[in-house]
């Protein structure tokens, strides 16, 4: 198989870094995207000097700049892994005016994917969205309150954002499968990473104390991402679905609402300043 270009966001740590190492070892050209300058550079260095870029998804201008750079430097993008995300603490709005959990986990990858759509279509690319079982456990989705101005809790906001990842996956599949894009969402499992570092919930206790001995390794959590990035969509896996342990899994019932996924796309486009076409 010829060398493929794989862009992974949230690749400075955790399952993103683990996936980057695995995919690099398989002969792929891995492009590392992260928020931390030190961690992102270290991962790229471990991959033999891979390309890397910095982007903070709490700033949409960073996402726009990242997309422009990727379009300039890579004539093909075979896989885009939207992996950046996390659970936050108290309700906070970004400089773009959006609730931070929603922006980092959903709006930023939605914007990045849309800005790269022409290149992804030309490349017949795979788009992989890292979701979570939180979409079923915590989500109480209200399309009229995407910014969580009512009834905010960190867990609910995170669950809603992870459900949004699946709704985005399904709508992207509906709109662009015929044009060559294959997409999937997946739950990595309960992985020992720093994704809850900004949270004030019980999740932070689990992820930062001896309780994390019961969590799986980043390498184990990355297995489904690596499989989706390397297996053959349409043959080895079915596009537009939500996966866990390399098998189709059941998501929140709202994830199967076609009208809801279409409306979320339209609302998300409006929120990040894109046309809904």
Give the mean pLDDT of 149-156. Answer: 95
Place of tokens 């931070």: 100
Q: Which residues of 200-209 are buried (b: 16+ CB within 10 A; e: fewer)?
A: ebebbebbee
Strand partners, 126: 79, 182
Give the mean pLDDT of 170-193. Answer: 92
- Which range is least confidently modeled, 104-118, 131-145, 191-205? 191-205
- Which range is least confidently modeled, 152-166, 199-213, 215-229? 199-213
Could you tell me the pLDDT band of residue 53, with boundaries at 50, 70 and 90?
Answer: very high
Q: What is the pLDDT of residue 276?
A: 76
244 is catalytic: no
Nearest to residue 12, comparing CAs of 76, 60, 84, 69?
A: 84
Nearest to residue 168, comparing CAs of 68, 100, 264?
A: 264
Phi, psi of 122 (to 5 degrees): -60, -35
Could you tell me the pLDDT band of residue 191, with boundaries at 50, 70 and 90?
Answer: low
How many CB atoms are closer than 10 A to CB 122? 13
| pLDDT > 70 in the chain, percent | 90
pLDDT at 59 over 70: yes
Give the mean pLDDT of 234-251. Answer: 97
Contact of 273 with 98, CB cutoff 8 Å: no
Instruction: State the Cα–Cα distance between residues 125 and 261, nearest whole angstrom.
Output: 21
Instruction: State the Cα–Cα distance between residues 158 and 141, nearest whole angstrom.
Output: 11
pLDDT at 204 over 70: no
Q: pTM score, two decimals?
A: 0.92
Q: What is the pLDDT of residue 202?
A: 54
Instruction: State the Cα–Cα distance between residues 176 and 20, nearest whole angstrom.
Output: 26
Give the mean pLDDT of 25-33. Answer: 97
Q: From the candidates 53, 158, 207, 242, which is the catalytic residue?
A: 158
DSSP for the chain? ----EEEESS-SSHHHHHHHHHHHHTT-EEEEEES-HHHHHHHHHHTTS--EEE--TT-HHHHHHHHHHHHHH-S---EEEE------SS--B-TTSSBHHHIIIIIHHHHHHHHTHHHHHHTT-EEEEE--THHHHT----GGGTT--SS--HHHHHHHHHHHHHHHHHHHHHHHGGGT-EEEEEE--SB-SSTTTT--SHHHHHHHSGGGGGSBPHHHHTHHHHHHHHS-BTTTB-TT-EEETTEE----GGGG-HHHHHHHHHHHHHHHT----
Place of tokens 């005016």: 97
């Amino acid at each position: 198989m010829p060398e493929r270009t794989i862009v992974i966001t949230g690749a400075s740590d955790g399952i993103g870094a683990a996936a980057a190492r695995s995919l690099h070892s398989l002969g792929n050209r891995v492009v590392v995207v992260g928020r931390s300058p030190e961690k992102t550079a270290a991962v790229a260095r471990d991959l033999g000097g891979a390309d890397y870029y910095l982007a903070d998804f709490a700033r949409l201008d960073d996402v726009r700049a990242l997309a422009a750079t990727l379009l300039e430097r890579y004539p093909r993008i075979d896989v885009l892994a939207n992996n950046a995300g996390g659970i936050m603490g108290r309700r906070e709005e970004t400089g773009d005016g959006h609730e931070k959990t929603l922006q980092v986990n959903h709006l930023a990858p939605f914007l990045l994917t849309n800005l790269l759509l022409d290149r992804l279509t030309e490349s017949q690319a795979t788009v992989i969205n890292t979701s979570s079982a939180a979409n079923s456990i915590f989500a109480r989705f209200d399309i009229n309150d995407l910014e969580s101005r009512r009834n905010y809790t960190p867990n609910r906001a995170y669950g809603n954002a992870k459900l949004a990842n699946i709704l985005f996956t399904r709508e992207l599949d509906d709109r662009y499968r015929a044009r060559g894009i294959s997409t999937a969402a997946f739950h990595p499992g309960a992985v020992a990473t720093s994704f809850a570092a900004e949270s004030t919930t019980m999740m932070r206790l689990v992820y930062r104390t001896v309780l994390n001995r019961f969590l799986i390794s980043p390498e184990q959590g990355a297995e489904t991402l690596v499989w989706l990035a390397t297996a053959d969509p349409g043959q080895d896996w079915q596009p537009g679905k939500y996966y866990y342990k390399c098998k189709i899994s059941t998501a929140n019932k709202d994830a199967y609402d076609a009208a809801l996924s279409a409306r979320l796309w339209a609302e998300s486009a409006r929120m990040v300043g894109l046309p809904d076409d």
